Amino acid sequence: MFPESDKIDLAYDYLGKVFLTTKNYKQALGALEQIKIKNAGVYRAIQRVAYYHAIDLFTNLKFSEAIEVFDYSLQYEKYDNDLKVKAYYWRGEAKYRLNNFEAAVKDYNQFILMPGSYQTQYFDLAHYNIGYAEFKSKHYEKAKSWWRKYIKMEMDKDAPTVGDAYNRIGDCCFVQREFQQAINYYEQGEAYLEGAPDYSLYQKGISLGVLRKHDQKISELNELIQKYPNSNYVDDALYEMGKSYVALNDLDNAIKRYKTIKEKYPSSSYSKKAMLQLGLVYYNASDYDNSLAFYKRVVNEFPGTQEASESLLGIRNIYMDRNDLDGYVRYTKKLGSFAQVDEREQDSLSYVSAERYYLETKCDIAIKNFQQYLKKYPQGMFVLNANYYMADCLYKQGDKSDALKAYRNVTSSSKNIFTEEALIRSGEINYAMESYQEALNNFRELERVAENQTNQVEARIGLLRCYAKLQDADNIIEAAQIVLDDPKVAAEIVREARFIKAGAHMMKGDSEQGMAEYGLLAQNPQSAEGAESKYLIAQYYFDMGEYKKAEDEVFDFANKGTSHQYWLARSFIVLADIYEAGEEYFQAKQYLQSITENYKGKDDILGIVAKRLSNLEKKMAVSTAEESADSLNIQ
């Protein structure tokens, strides 16, 4: 009301402190910036509030926005060295999450060199993260150097990241063809059982194979299979053992390993490779009948794949060795265009033309060419590739419906290199189109066939979200627990899973368990799930008539603060409901009017409050009339 008043700065300072107390950092920052005459205390407050606002944005995965606010905080870096140091670290983290590795390394380095960084909990971790940033930038020598520093710092701790650092140095050496050094580092990584010892054993075996130490390679891979029978690398290990037995001319053992893959891991991508190798092994042993049988199985079971194409060449060689070219012609005629020599050449040229446009990101032309290819060669050698790449282009152009059709052509074929990604995309599209049962089927199939942990986690999260949309409480609880039991799942996914699980318990009427889960989330009201949980707990107590507990929850929420002002406002509406239920109409009205005057969101809050106020004023009018009537009766 008095913009020129000498007390206006004091008012903004007070507002800033209020918003800071409630952890509404964005509004706190706005209030502090309105102060015209700023002193060191105000600048220090701006630095602090901007830092915590950036941390809040980072927590909610808004990395680009977080970087901008960290930049702003660092404009006032001279006022608080501790916040300055931490801001450089977290800005580096945000840049890393955006795959801006070079910029991330600069911030991490600056953090490490700053006075005071050593005393923070992030000092060692910064070295570990620089290693990853350099590794992803293919700066292998630099990556090794940083990981060695990290290992030296953390050597006395049995941390999984130490084992991972040893493995990653091994990977650097492997890429640089320093195989013996790679083996040494993998051996050290194997000692950390909380890390990935199965990966260490597998990579050690592969390195020994490159050095042609096949007996030792087989021994290491056998150890992997014995120690870690549920490892994702077991089928890989069996396949590699088969290759080494072939190199040692031990064909019986090679055949045994390849058959084990086919029998025990039929969904593995190595299944068709194993059958192709069986065809080759039997061919080299002059066992043409078995060789032909396996080659033909590959062609029949995995049409349109590279393995099928290679098997066809093997089949041709067998017929030629038998001097039965007519038999080969009869066989290829049954297969259609896929096996015709001239057709195959045209097939290849037609596909390569379309693929070139795809690789040049000229999706409009690529889609047209892929469609022409698929129409002309419906059984062509590159049908899978064409469908997948065409689907990818359609997806990027926003044509989700046609993309889904193309992805289905990929997922309906036998397991191939595109299956997992096609299932992920199909699940995402169906989910976005609210076809939740179809999405559920996609994620269920993905969980069944996924060979790497990342896609397994993706499948389980997808299943959980679909069950939530389908309100299948029992399956929600089971799926959520699987996600929660995985120690490698990101924190934001853990929060989401716990929140969905809590809702499922409430859906089943198990409010005790539901409230327990909400309670865990509510410990951190800075997250979206935590803030909503805090509100839901207050609402639950109100609905149960436990007004004191509900009131305590709201006040505790206000004291802890949150950047998610919507849920804080909803909680204050609950508080107004509490006072209204206790016929303390004046206090109820005060809280509702306060929300009306101060809430800045563009959502349904003000509409809810307006309706509450209207009903409340009617009650107050009735109450006043009754009191007046009672007074008249007394007189």
pLDDT per residue as tens digits for the range 67-99: 999 999 999 999 999 999 999 999 999 999 999
Residue 18, pLDDT above cutoff 50: no
Tell me: pLDDT of 6 over 60.
no
- pLDDT score recorded for residue 28: 78
- Angle (nearest 5°) at CA 582 between 579 and 587: 30
Least confident of 277-291, 303-317, 565-579, 596-610: 303-317
CATH number for the segment(s) 525-635: 1.25.40.10
Strand, helix or coil for residue 533: helix
User: What pLDDT is stored for residue 319 in this prediction?
Assistant: 81
Domain borders along the chain are 249-337, 340-407, 414-522, 525-635
Superfamily of the domain at 414-522 = Tetratricopeptide repeat domain (1.25.40.10)
Task: Specify whether the CB–CB gap between 32 and 45 falls below 8 A.
Answer: yes
Question: What was the pLDDT predicted at 4?
Answer: 47
Give the CA-trace dihedral at 570, 576, 580, 583, to 10 degrees: 160
Write down the pLDDT at residue 351.
Answer: 85
Question: Whole-number mean pLDDT of the chain?
Answer: 90
pLDDT at 424: 97
Query: How does residue 618 score in pLDDT terms, banded at 50, 70 and 90?
Result: confident
Residue 366 structure tokens: 């690529």
Q: Which of 79, 19, 89, 21 is nearest to 54 (CA)?
A: 89
Quickly name the fold that domain 249-337 has. Answer: 1.25.40
| Residue 476 near residue 496 (C-beta atoms within 8 A) | no
Report d(CA 165, CA 199) in Å as an integer: 12
- The answer to whether residue 29 scores a pLDDT higher than 90 is no
Q: What is the mean pLDDT of residues 497-524?
A: 97
d(CA 112, CA 118): 7
320 burial (CB, 10 Å; 0-12 / 13-18 / 19+) is exposed
Grouping H, G, I as helix, E, B as strand and the rest as coil, residue 157 is coil
Calpha distance 256→239 (Å, rounded): 10
| pLDDT (tens digit per residue) in 410-450 | 999 988 999 999 999 999 999 999 999 999 999 999 999 99
Q: At residue 525, does pLDDT exceed 90?
A: yes
Predicted confidence band of residue 346 (pLDDT cuts 50, 70, 90): low
Asked if pLDDT for residue 24 goes beyond 90, the answer is no
pLDDT score recorded for residue 15? 44
DSSP letters spanning 462-508: HHHHHHHHTT-HHHHHHHHHHHHT-TTS-HHHHHHHHHHHHHHHHHT
**DSSP 8-state assignment for residue 79:** G
The pLDDT, as a whole number, for residue 135 is 97
The pair of three-digit structure tokens given for residue 452, joined into one six-digit string = 């790497």
More confident residue, 87 or 343: 87
- pLDDT over 90 at 155, yes or no: no
Answer for the pair 135, 167: CB distance below 8 angstroms, yes or no: no
Q: In the prediction, which pLDDT does 241 show?
A: 96
Residue 572's pLDDT is 95
> Which CA distances in Å does 126 have to 3, 60, 77, 100?
47, 21, 20, 15
Q: Tokens 């005057």 correspond to what residue? A: 597
19 band by pLDDT with thresholds 50, 70 and 90: very low
Q: Residue 623: which pLDDT band, with cuts at 50, 70 and 90?
A: low
As a whole number of angstroms, the distance between CA 195 and CA 191 comes to 9
Asked if 576 and 586 touch (Cβ cutoff 8 Å), the reply is no
Q: Using 50, 70 and 90 to split pLDDT, how confident is the model at 363?
A: very high
206-224 confidence digits (pLDDT tens): 999 999 999 999 999 999 9
Confidence of residue 7 (pLDDT cuts 50, 70, 90): very low
How do residues 94-107 score in pLDDT, each as one tens digit? Answer: 999 999 999 999 99
Render pLDDT for 166-210 as a digit per residue (tens, 0 to 9): 999 999 999 999 999 999 999 999 998 877 999 999 999 999 999
pLDDT single digits (tens) 468-483: 999 999 999 999 999 9
Residue 453 — very low, low, confident or very high, per pLDDT cuts 50/70/90? confident
pTM of the predicted model as reported, rounded to 2 decimal places: 0.73
Residue 524 contacts residue 55 (beta carbons within 8 Å): no
Distance CA 9, CA 19 (A): 15
pLDDT at residue 12, as a whole number: 43
Residue, of 6 and 248, whose pLDDT is higher: 248
SS3 for 459?
Answer: helix
Distant-in-sequence, close-in-space partners of 337: CB < 8 Å, separation ≥ 6: 343, 344, 347, 377, 379, 380
Instruction: Identify the CA nearest to 189 among candidates 174, 179, 199, 181.
Output: 199
pLDDT reported for residue 463? 98
Distance CA 45, CA 15 (A): 12
Nearest to 302 by CA among 423, 414, 458, 173: 414
Other beta carbons within 10 angstroms of residue 603's beta carbon come to 11
* Cα separation, 578 vs 574, whole angstroms: 6
Q: Which is more confident, 620 or 465? A: 465
Q: Judge if 249-337 and 414-522 fold alike in CATH terms.
A: yes
C-alpha to C-alpha distance for 511 and 396, rounded to whole angstroms:
43
pLDDT of residue 156: 72
Rounded CA-CA distance 584/221 in Å is 74
- Arithmetic mean of pLDDT, 545-560: 95
Per-residue confidence band for 16, with pLDDT thresholds at 50, 70 and 90: very low
What digits encode the pLDDT tens for the residues 221-251? 999 999 999 999 999 999 999 999 999 999 9
Q: Using 50, 70 and 90 to split pLDDT, how confident is the model at 320?
A: confident
pLDDT at 21 over 70: no
pLDDT (mean) for 329-350: 69
| Cβ pair 295, 315 in contact under 8 A | yes
Q: Which CATH number fits domain 340-407: 1.25.40.10, 3.50.50.60, 3.40.50.1820, 3.40.190.10?
A: 1.25.40.10
pLDDT score recorded for residue 5:
45
pLDDT confidence bin for 341, thresholds 50/70/90: low
pLDDT in tens, 255-269: 999 999 999 998 888
pLDDT at residue 120 tops 50 = yes
Residue-wise pLDDT for 583-613, tens only, equals: 899 999 999 999 999 898 899 999 999 999 9
pLDDT at residue 620 in the model = 83
Average the pLDDT over each of 140-149, 358-367, 615-624 and give the range with the smallest value: 615-624
**Which backbone phi and psi does 15 adopt, to 5 degrees?**
-60, -45
- Contacts (Cβ under 8 Å, ≥6 apart) of 499: 517, 518, 521, 529, 532, 533
Q: Where does residue 23 fall: left (phi above 0), alpha (psi -120 to 50 degrees), or beta otherwise?
A: left
pLDDT confidence of 374, banded at 50, 70, 90?
A: very high
Question: What pLDDT is stored for residue 211 in this prediction?
Answer: 96
